[in-house]
Amino acid sequence: MKKLNVAIVGYGRSGRNIHTHLLDLPELADKYNIVAYADADAQRREMIKAERGVPVYEDYKGFAEMKDQIDFVINASFSHHHASISKELMKMGFDVLSEKPAARDEEEFDTVLAVMKETGRRYFVFQQYRFSPSYVKINEIIGSGILGRIVQVTLNYDGFARRWDWQTVHGFTAGSLLNTGPHPVDHALAIMGFPQDVRVFAVMDTAHTYGDGEDYVKMILTAPGKPTVDIEISSCNAFAPKTFCVQGTRGTLYGDTGRLEWKYYLDEENPPQKLITEPLRNEKGEPVYCSEKLKFHTGEFISEGSEFDNKGVGFYKAFYETFVNGAPFEIRLDQIKLQMRVMGEAHAQNARLFEK
């Protein structure tokens, strides 16, 4: 089995704690080998030397010395550098896997795609949440039809926390929508079938963040013939609900990444009903409320192991099949472009937050 040699830009929370951690897992050990890093921070470079024992550069341009030894580069730099560094790496002749957000907005993302076409390099975006076992199961349940026609999907990414790092600063391509939002927005658009005519309604607020980036997002996505999707990302909810709620005409699914449960009824097991416009009454003629006891079936899914590792390993296994064996990749760039458009519309509707 071919082992891919990887270089990583950045040794922070993403480069070290996500990508390095994942590629070191036994499930991926026969597929990936980290051969170099780049980080502008001197302390981080010393950490790399101590922890990894591989070449480390102050600047990603140093990777040119190892060009023949690197199969692709993971761009885990600061968010506001994702687009520019991805373009530079492709111009240097490298294939690139970029962290999210891929760019500041759709316009900047288009410049990345233009460089990809000009250079003929391969370019991908790291959206590992698409491979979450619970999300995969949700799609399976929806696809089975047991919940009926899906009316609404709710995605809650709530909690209660103050934040004061660089990812609270809008000028650094940050704020909750660009930090966290790519994951629920990707889920939402995928469930909707990535409709190009999606409509966006968004309200954002800076509640108790220490930067000017939003830490509260309420977004409603609609499209003709598609379920309504309600996305909430809040740092103000100390009683956060479960992550997922899928409402259908014959049942409901509810849960989080660790456990899902659903209940539904079958038409053939319940008496047919018809519209009655006269006042409802019982045998005695007394007024009654319209009610019945449906026979429900239930189901449950429990995700085994680490959610963090499961979705990351799932992504990297699929990425390997694409990179080495040419399998179609699930995270398509036109889908990322639509995601950028949706988030850009949300920002435009809340431009007052970012005015100087």
Residues 117 and 173 in one domain: no
Same domain, 147 and 83: no
> Is residue 356 scored above 60 in pLDDT?
no
Same domain, 61 and 113: yes
Domain shared by 42 and 155, yes or no? no
The residue out of 126, 153, 177 marking a domain boundary is: 126
Confirm whether 316 is domain-assigned. no
Number of structural domains the chain divides into: 2
Residue 262 maps to a domain: yes
For the domain that residue 98 is a member of, what is the CATH number?
Answer: 3.40.50.720
Residue-wise pLDDT for 108-149, tens only, equals: 999 999 999 999 999 999 999 999 999 999 999 999 999 999
126, 143, 175 — which closes off a domain? Answer: 126
Question: Do 178 and 103 lie in a common domain?
Answer: no
Same domain, 243 and 284: yes
pLDDT digits over 162-212, tens only? 999 878 888 888 899 999 999 999 999 999 999 999 999 999 999 999 988
Give yes or no: residues 188 and 209 share one domain.
yes
**Least trusted range by pLDDT, from 14-23, 128-137, 281-290, 338-347:** 281-290
Q: What are the pLDDT digits (tens) for 138-150?
A: 999 999 999 999 9
For residues 105 and 143, membership in a common domain is answered with no
Do residues 85 and 162 share a domain?
A: no
Domain containing 47 equals 4-126
How far is Cα 51 from Cα 55, in angstroms, rounded to an integer? Answer: 12
Q: Is there a domain that residue 52 lies in?
A: yes
Is 231 found in the same domain as 119?
no
Q: Which of 108, 126, 144 is the last residue of a domain?
A: 126
Considering the domain architecture, whether residues 261 and 117 belong to the same structural domain is answered as: no
Domain assignment of residue 327, yes or no: no
Confidence of residue 335 (pLDDT cuts 50, 70, 90): very high
Residues 173 and 114 both lie in one domain = no
Report the predicted TM-score, pTM, of the whole model to 2 decimal places.
0.93
